[in-house]
Structure 1
């Protein structure tokens, strides 16, 4: 009986890498959101949004990949009237239904591929006179869309 050691030295690394990627995907898709404590690389343009009661707005960004070197897209979503976002009316309706609490958006059923391609969603702004700060990293864009609806749908 012969034993080939050349293949056995590379196979465990591939399996370990695959298992690690799956574990990271599961950890990244955890539903808990956290408040931003570090300064946002692209701070919300508060001066453009204005102030006052009834002036609901969020500066939303989506970063694909590593937060430091990834591709970041952002827009100012205004809801009085809905504008500045590809799906402004739908995003504003979703925010109104949860009183601006992004963590309360109902999770949609979706079949998402188990591919780890992290996306980080951030929102800063004002909703009904309250400051909104939200950041969450999801395993991929499909999981983000299932958890946040239209609010971070900036690519479409």
Structure 2
């Protein structure tokens, strides 16, 4: 009798867990998630120390701790979330010093439902500024 009660209890718990899990699996929005943590770090590789960080969520509305989430989300949408595209049009009319003081930027999270883990190291802050050329994504 005890085995029967234990089996019925286990089946009931399993059924409840499956029902609860199915309810949690339903999407809560029509939009694919787009939420990231952006960082700017002093240094390169594992030795880099984060000096600034910002959160950015773009769907269904632009929000987060980023100072201009609307502009940053628009800039990412223009590149289809491809962060390497942000590096494509540096300001060639501006010169930077040739000293090495590396700065690393990262983006980790989700863009339109796809996992993002991106990192790029610049030789110094001037080079980073010239490369992003007014792009608002890492302007925080």
TM interval, shorter chain, is 0.5 to 0.7
Larger radius of gyration: 2
Distance 1:147 1:101 in 2: 15
Partner in structure 2 of residue 120 of structure 1: 104
Q: Describe the SS at the equivalent of 1:82.
A: coil
Q: Identify the match of residue 145 of structure 1 among 121, 125, 129.
A: 129
Aligned CA RMSD, in angstroms, stands at 2.2
Q: CA deviation at 1:129?
A: 1.2
Q: CA deviation at 1:96?
A: 0.2
2:41/2:48 contact within 8 Å kept = no
Q: CA deviation at 1:86?
A: 1.6
Q: Describe the SS at the equivalent of 2:56.
A: strand
Seen in structure 2, the aligned counterparts of structure 1 residues 92 and 145 have a Cα distance that, compared at 3 Å, is farther
2:105/2:121 contact within 8 Å kept = yes
Distance 1:137 1:74 in 2: 16
Q: CA deviation at 1:108?
A: 2.6
- Provide structure 1 residue ranges, at least 5 long, that are not aligned to the other structure: 1-50
What TM-score comes out, normalization by structure 1 length? 0.57
Matched, 1:65 2:43: yes
2:39/2:50 contact within 8 Å kept = no
Seen in structure 2, the aligned counterparts of structure 1 residues 88 and 115 have a Cα distance that, compared at 3 Å, is farther
* Residue correspondences, number: 104
Distance 2:51 2:39 in 1: 7
Seen in structure 2, the aligned counterparts of structure 1 residues 87 and 143 have a Cα distance that, compared at 3 Å, is farther
Q: Deviations over 1:112-139 (max 9, x none)?
A: 3323221010111111111111011101
Moved over 4 A (4+): none
What TM-score comes out, normalization by structure 2 length? 0.63
